[in-house]
Chains A and B, each alone.
Chain A
Amino acid sequence: MARLSSIVVMVPADSGAGKSPAAAARLDADSSGWLQALGCAGPARKAALGRLHELLVRIARGEVARRGPRLGITGPELEDLAYQAAADALLAITSKLGQFRGESRFTTWAYKFVILEVSAKIGRHFWRHPAVPWDAEDWDRLPARFGFDPAHQAEWRELLAALRRAVDEKLTARQRQVFVAIVLNGVPLDALTVELASNRNAIYKTLFDARRKLRAALAANGYIGDDA
């Protein structure tokens, strides 16, 4: 579990806080107070870091409790995940203070960092007990992934055969890889970013383009309506 004392030492000295008077002029009193305290030196800054850490731990705990039941993570592991997320978020926040533009309350901006840290840590946690290999190509799994009823196979067999043909013929190797991992094997997108050393935006865009291609292929053959 991360300790606050070590976090305080690691905070960059020049974080850029207070460098934007235009933004500061729009700030509410609470946000302005945070920026001032975190931008100064000495005991006032240390106290502000302590208060911010407490807030982040509270938000992280709430978030892991909200997501925990669906993830199968409980007890000390969940608590540890919350503390790690809060510690990493504190470092990110203090190093990016100069990027806070006052478009929301400071605490809302700060909470975003800890929520994103929780997501990233849950993504990494997935690989401790993966249900199936991320690149396994068991296409018999496809109907269940979309909730097709086996009792009505005659109605959807042709559609899913066409979908698989479109995956084979229309997608790039990367799009196919992402489709197989996320759709066929149920790998969470954030977990896949870890495996492929990528980021959420890039994986989402790859799948977005794949979805568009697959719809166009199915629509061209009359299996499904066109988006347009």
Chain B
Amino acid sequence: MNGWSALDRFLQTDPRDVGCAEAMEMLHIYAELIAASGPAEQQYPGIAAHLRACGPCGEDFAGLLAALRDEAP
């Protein structure tokens, strides 16, 4: 990724983005749906938008998903 695209991506904001508080409130439900290959992005577009844009929340999501996948049979 070059500087132009990195800056462009940084300045993109999605109006559906629900913010950290709502995303964290629903994270366990969203992660379980993703782990089960359910339609999480369609069902929760605002959370999907947030997790794409927010580094810390995206990291928490990745961690929770990894935990779920680690214990899957």
Residues of A within 8 A of B (CB): 59, 62-63, 66-67, 103-105, 108-109, 111-112, 115-116, 118-119, 143, 146-149, 156, 159, 163, 183, 188-190, 199-201, 204-205, 208, 211-212, 214-215, 218, 224-225, 227
Contacts and interface: CB of A to CB of B under 8 A. Distances in A.
8 contacts: A62-B67, A104-B28, A111-B67, A148-B4, A159-B7, A200-B24, A200-B57, A218-B11
Given A104-B29, A108-B32, A224 B8 contact: yes
B73 to A, nearest CB: 13
In this complex, which of B10, B19, B20, B68 has the most chain A Cβ atoms within 10 angstroms of its Cβ? B20
Scoring B4, B7, B27 by chain A CB atoms within 10 A of each residue's CB, the highest score goes to: B7
Interface string B42-59: 000000000001111101
A60 B3 CA distance: 35
Interface in B6-54: 6-8, 10-13, 17, 19-21, 24, 27-29, 31-32, 53-54
B28 A62 contact: no
A105 B11 contact: no
Contact of A112 (B28, B53, B62): B28
A215 B13 contact: yes
A215 B12 contact: yes
A215 B14 CA distance: 12
A116 B24 contact: yes
The size bracket of the interface on B is: 35 or more
A165 to B, nearest CB: 15
A70 to B, nearest CB: 10
Majority DSSP secondary structure for residues of A touching B: helix
Where chain B touches its partner, the secondary structure class is helix
Contacts of B21: 201
B20 to A, nearest CB: 4
A141 to B, nearest CB: 13
Interface of B: 1-4, 6-8, 10-13, 17, 19-21, 24, 27-29, 31-32, 53-57, 59-60, 62-64, 66-68, 70
A200 B24 CA distance: 10
A115 B63 contact: yes
A227 B10 CA distance: 11
A108 B28 contact: yes
A37 to B, nearest CB: 19
B68 to A, nearest CB: 6
A115 B64 contact: yes
A105 B35 CA distance: 12
Contact of A115 (B2, B10, B67): B67
